[in-house]
Structure 1
Amino acid sequence: MDTQSLQAFLAVADTQSFSRAAEQLYLTQPAVSKRIATLESQVGTRLFDRIGRRIALTEAGSVLLPQARRILFSVEDSRRALANLSGQVGGKLTLATSHHIGLHRLPPLLKQYTQRHSEVELDLHFLDSEQAYQGVLDGTLEMAVVTLAPHPHEQLQVVELWRDRLCFACAIDHPLNQQPPQSELSLTDLCEYNCVMPGAKTFTGSLIAKRFSQAGLELPVSMATNYLETLKMMCSVGLGWSLLPEKMIDSELVELKVDTPPIYRPLGYLVHTNRTLSNAARMMIEELENTRGESPIK
């Protein structure tokens, strides 16, 4: 089995489309079909069922899928290890970050990095933190800078760099802002009004939900989105109260005093423990470590 056929197999399996796989690999669709046919001939069985426009893995394809990922992972790892021997910092660095971190934490760092290491081709992906975790695990991403998961993963090296304090916030004219200046709201008080929150399955959303569930309360979520900038907008126009990073509280919002300990979310980077990092990734980690504890930009 050659690596080109395996790459085509993974691309079709991931996209469930020969045409999208061809776009991803910068090939023609017939070229992708030929590589899949070659691989099926080598293993002696069909790997995909083609029903109309739908593409699905056969049982044999499902068995081959994790093995193919491991083979390509090992090949790429070997290439990186050999390339590192030269000491040069170049090649492609596939890096994922969340939209919020990409907007508020990384711009100065990325500018400095690209100026210092102009030979690096930075392949930057904006993904939800949960998707980025999976990308590092399956080897499609070399590293990620995201909100960190509440529980460690044995295959990942996770390093916390910053902490966001999440603030209870609402629009200036929201009923929750009509309390006497020195009074504190309770979590129960908040639950009398609709809120707008990150998705329940996100790391940030689960962190917030846990605080309320510990108090025996259920969040009255009227709308949810994984984009904090969108949450801020919805909160500022009165669609509900929310929890937002401290640096996002501006003149359009008011921070509410709530009788509960502060809620913090950890932010940092992660890499696969079994992966040989490229020199480009090592330099990126060095730049990230230099920003430890720095405040975000507004």
Structure 2
Amino acid sequence: MDTNSLQAFVAVAETGSFSRAAEQLFLTQSAMSKRILILEQQLNNRLFDRIGRTVSLTEAGRELLPRANRILLELNDARRSLSNLSGDVSGTLSVAASHHISLHRLPPVLRQYISAFPEVKLDLRFDESEIAYDNVLKGSLEIALITLSPRPDPNIHFQTIWHDRLNYVVAPDHPLAALEQVTLEQLSCYPAILSGSATFTRQLAEQQFSQLALKPDIAMSTNYLDTIRMMVEIGLGWSLLPETMTATSLSVLRVDAPQVTRELGYITHKERTLSNAARHFIQLLEQAAKKGS
């Protein structure tokens, strides 16, 4: 059993497709199929059921998947540990950042990092916080810069870098904009435009309403905050947006409720040895936290 076959197996299991897995690993589909066939022969078990275009794990495949992931993580961890001994800051650094952080927080840190460590190849992805979180948990990412989860997994190490104050906002001609103060009960009577139900930001908003046994009237949802801001600007509803996105075209409501603040920062896996490249990236992030930038 070799690592190439295990990588192929994990890729097919995660994508549910031989062709997408082949693209992911830069292989031909025939080479991918051959690797899976060799692994199945070595284990004397069929790992995938192929019905039409649908690929699904067999019972043996489901049993193997967590073990295969663990083996690959251990091997990658060993490689990083040995590479770190040289003290060089090089190689590939896999980082994911949420769309909001990518636009509003990351550029100064990234500019400083690529200037200081030109030998590092950045594998930079722009994902929703929840997707990046899962990829760190699975071990496919070293670092993720995200809205931190209110209930993090025990295997996740997290560190707050930025505090994001959130404001309830409406268009200037919205009925609520004329009020001196607004209650959550009043807000719940009007359509809301919030991020998706699985997002950490949405969870913070709903948590505040649920404490009063209220539920916001969600008219629309999208995970792109800039899109939400646009929809609020044209009067489609109210929203809860970061203070950094509160433009002159929006009215900030004085809500009779505690200020909502979300924590933005980085996460890593507690059991993963970080590369020198990742350690230096984290140092720059923590310097940004001390500066309050």
TM over 0.5: yes
Task: State whether structure 2 residue 240 is matched by structure 1 residue 238.
Answer: no
Q: Report the Cα offset of residue 295 of structure 1.
A: 5.8
Residue identity (%): 54
The whole-number CA distance in structure 1 between the counterparts of 2:136 and 2:33 is 28
Q: Report the Cα offset of residue 152 of structure 1.
A: 3.1
Q: Report the Cα offset of residue 137 of structure 1.
A: 0.9
Contact 1:170 1:254 in 2 (8 A): yes
Task: State whether structure 2 residue 276 is matched by structure 1 residue 279.
Answer: yes
Q: Report the Cα offset of residue 254 of structure 1.
A: 1.1
Contact 1:166 1:246 in 2 (8 A): yes
The whole-number CA distance in structure 2 between the counterparts of 1:200 and 1:24 is 29
Task: State whether structure 2 residue 19 is matched by structure 1 residue 19.
Answer: yes
- The aligned residue for residue 85 of structure 1 is 85
Task: State whether structure 2 residue 240 is matched by structure 1 residue 248.
Answer: no
- The aligned residue for residue 207 of structure 1 is 204
The whole-number CA distance in structure 2 between the counterparts of 1:200 and 1:150 is 14
TM-score, normalization: structure 2?
Answer: 0.98
Counting only pairs closer than 5 Å after superposition, residues 46-57 of structure 1 correspond to structure 2 as 46-57=46-57
Task: State whether structure 2 residue 275 is matched by structure 1 residue 290.
Answer: no
Contact 1:40 1:47 in 2 (8 A): yes
Structure 2: gaps spanning 5 or more residues:
none
Letter in 2 for 1:256: L
Q: Report the Cα offset of residue 187 of structure 1.
A: 0.9
SS in 2 for 1:275: coil
Contact 1:163 1:293 in 2 (8 A): no
Letter in 1 for 2:37: A
Q: Cα RMSD over matched residues?
A: 1.0
Counting only pairs closer than 5 Å after superposition, residues 20-59 of structure 1 correspond to structure 2 as 20-59=20-59
TM-score, normalization: structure 1?
Answer: 0.96
Q: C-alpha deviations, 1:233-269, integer Å up to 9, x for none?
A: 1111111000000010112211011111100001111
Contact 1:47 1:59 in 2 (8 A): yes
Q: C-alpha deviations, 1:1-53, integer Å up to 9, x for none?
A: 10000000011111111111111001111110110011001100110011011
Structure 1: gaps spanning 5 or more residues:
none
Return 254-263 or 150-159, whichever deviates more: 150-159
Distance change >3 Å, CA 18–CA 148, structure 1 → 2:
same
- The aligned residue for residue 60 of structure 1 is 60
- The aligned residue for residue 105 of structure 1 is 105
Q: Report the Cα offset of residue 178 of structure 1.
A: 2.2
- Would you identify which runs of 4 or more consecutive aligned residues in structure 1 move more than 2 Å? 293-296
- The aligned residue for residue 176 of structure 1 is 176
Contact 1:162 1:293 in 2 (8 A): no
Q: C-alpha deviations, 1:94-129, integer Å up to 9, x for none?
A: 111110011100011111111111111111111111
- The aligned residue for residue 96 of structure 1 is 96
- The aligned residue for residue 69 of structure 2 is 69
